[in-house]
Amino acid sequence: MGVSKCLRGVSRCLKMSHVAAPRGPSRVIEWDVLSTRYPRMAPLPWSMLTERTGIDLFCGLGGFSFAMQLAGVRPVLGVDSWPDASEAYSRNFPGAKAVCADLFDAEFQEKLAADYEGKVDIVCGGPPCQPFSVLNRTNRVGSEGPLVFFRVALAIRPSLILMEEVSDVARHAGLMDGIRQMAEERGYSVDWAVLNAADHGVAQARRRLFVAAYPYGFSAPALFDMPKAVDRVPLSRVLPPPDESQEVTTYAAEMIRDRRSYSWHNGYNELDESGQAPALTTQFNQPGCWPSRRLGARYYHVSDADAAAIQSLPRDVKLPEKRMARRRALGNAVPPKMAAAVLRYLLKRELIGR
Ligand SMILES: C[S@@+](CC[C@H](N)C(=O)[O-])C[C@H]1O[C@@H](n2cnc3c(N)ncnc32)[C@H](O)[C@@H]1O
């Protein structure tokens, strides 16, 4: 390791000792996320110099925070304006601060930057994606989410910024240019790629845009070159047994059996458990909107536990109390296993389970 890199690590250690972020019990990772096999990559030990900390903006129930834990980063703060998600986040991450606030609010943005500037290593986030979703062809209200995310993240000045969005955002050249320009003005370089969760150990074909930014002078591998996991994980390996109390109606079962699909988005269809699920949506337990599970001759709604497994969330993930809120939080989440693979790759950590 070069002397300058070593000194940088030491100075980072010293700087981190002033972090005012709350400390909490370290969590035991209970689910089988570290078993993904990647092609061999050179281990780079500099990541062991200091404990890293991170912030999760637009955190929902905390998909990115689970990913940070898997990548050896301690989440210290999760912000979301939706009370149900914020409450679930606080139960999932008792050692982090859960703040329920509007990230579009300029005053709150300033306060956040004042409190955390220079004090955390990583800022992650998945700004609202509905304005860009392929399911939404008309309403583009709120499409400034990615810009707001970058404005706040850049003001905090971390060593790595990572945003997740629906893949369509990559086609909005104006928006992507806006992000690049804003980042470059603050001394950050930007890189992005559309990745598929199925290539990173998740039993779901979910294509998502990842945009990374780091201060000039930091080198990180290109997202585009990120290696894929050696194997794909079939649904049968992650799904719990079907919840038999959730049998679908006779009518829906007939529709599925007859393959009378009225919906272009996988509705009245059956999950093929030997492969990967299609991208989970917030409507996952409606046979007309998303596939159902088959057991023998019967069909079952996809349960919350199924959806959590499809998203590679831990088995003991804490969900919002209300039924509709649970579905929305599950459908919105970034798959932690995928985001952890991206973080580990960008942080150049040795990949586990080769
Ligand atoms: C795509 S989801 C992010 C999901 C999250 N990454 C996860 O893994 O669960 C977008 C989140 O942004 C939140 N949100 C929307 N508008 C917001 C705002 N103005 N301020 C803060 N959070 C907001 C939503 O409540 C939602 O939880």
Name which of 108-122, 170-184, 254-268 the model is least confident about: 254-268
Ligand 1 pocket test: pick from 55, 56, 82 the residue with the most ligand atoms within 8 Å of its Cβ. 82
Whether 334 lines ligand 1, by a CB cut-off of 6 Å, is yes
173-218 pLDDT, tens digit each: 889 999 999 999 999 999 999 999 999 999 999 999 999 999 987 7
Would residue 129 show up in a list of annotated catalytic residues for this protein?
yes
User: What Å distances lie between residue 107 and 78, 85, 112, 114, 126, CA to CA?
Assistant: 18, 22, 9, 11, 21
What is the percent of the chain with per-residue pLDDT over 90, rounded to a whole number? 66
Going by the DSSP 8-state scheme, the letter that residue 313 receives in this structure is -
Q: What is the pLDDT at residue 313?
A: 97
- Give one DSSP letter per residue of 111-141, joined into a string: HHHHHHTTT-SEEEE----GGG-TT-SS--T
Q: How many C-beta atoms lie closer than 10 Å to residue 162's C-beta?
A: 26
Q: What is the pLDDT at residue 218?
A: 77
Residue 265 has pLDDT above 70, yes or no: no
Q: Are strands 52-57 and 73-80 parallel, antiparallel or unpaired?
A: parallel
Q: What is the pLDDT at residue 353?
A: 34
What mean pLDDT is predicted for residues 315-331? 97
Rounded to the nearest angstrom, the distance between the alpha carbon of 37 and the centre of ligand 1 is: 31
46 CB-near residues (< 8 Å, 6+ apart): 1, 5, 9, 348
Looking at the CA of residue 105, tell me the nearest atom of ligand 1. 19
Which residue is closest in CA terms to ligand 1's atom 19?
102
Domains and CATH numbers, the chain: 3-230+336-348 (3.40.50.150), 235-332 (3.90.120.10)
119-159 pLDDT, tens digit each: 999 999 999 976 565 555 444 445 789 999 999 999 999 99
